[in-house]
């Protein structure tokens, strides 16, 4: 039990002291893991690899954003139409979830949209 607590504490301390924006940073040139290089920080947006001396971009521009993009207005409009016509509800709040929802329902939506009202 104590070991687990120590691990959690150590991980928290590591997380605070490395200032890595929650990402793993690998040297573009030599593939060294840079997070644990002495004094590593993303604060300056660049980090010189201590293994090979290559200057790496460690700014937020270099981080992939997974699921953090929000739904666009176009998607919202389309989703609203799908919900109304198909009588289903979209539960989600990211761009990816919206894309998936539209992708998986647009065929049904289109075919129903192009079916005369009396045959729906
Ligand atoms: Zn390197």
Return the number of other C-beta atoms located less than 10 Å from residue 25's C-beta: 23
Contact 82, 106 (CB under 8 A): yes
pTM score, whole prediction: 0.43
Give the rounded distance of the alpha carbon of 84 from its chain centre: 29
Position 83 scores a pLDDT of 96
Ligand 1 centroid–CA 56 distance in Å is: 8
Q: What is the spatial distance between Cα 51 and Cα 62, in angstroms, rounded to a whole number?
A: 20
Q: Which range is most confident: 66-70, 82-86, 115-119?
A: 82-86
Give residues with Cβ within 8 angstroms of 68, minimum separation 6: 94
Rounded CA-CA distance 82/53 in Å is: 54
Task: Report CA(32)–ligand 1 centroid distance (Å).
Answer: 5
Q: What is the pLDDT of residues 7-63, one digit of tens each?
A: 766 665 555 544 788 888 999 999 999 999 999 998 888 999 999 999 998 887 766
CA of 58 to the centre of ligand 1 (A): 13
Terminal-residue alpha carbon distance, the chain: 62
């Amino acid at each position: 039990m104590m070991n687990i607590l120590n691990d959690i504490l150590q991980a928290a301390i590591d997380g605070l002291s490395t200032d890595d924006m929650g990402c793993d940073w690998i040297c573009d040139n030599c593939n060294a893991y840079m997070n644990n290089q002495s004094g590593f920080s993303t604060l300056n947006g660049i980090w010189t690899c201590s293994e090979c001396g290559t200057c790496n971009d460690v700014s937020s521009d270099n981080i992939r954003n997974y699921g953090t993009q929000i739904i666009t207005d176009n998607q919202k409009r389309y989703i609203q139409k799908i919900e109304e016509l198909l009588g289903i509800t979209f539960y989600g709040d990211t761009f990816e979830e919206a894309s998936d929802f539209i992708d998986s329902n647009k065929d049904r939506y289109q075919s129903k949209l192009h079916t005369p009202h009396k045959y729906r």
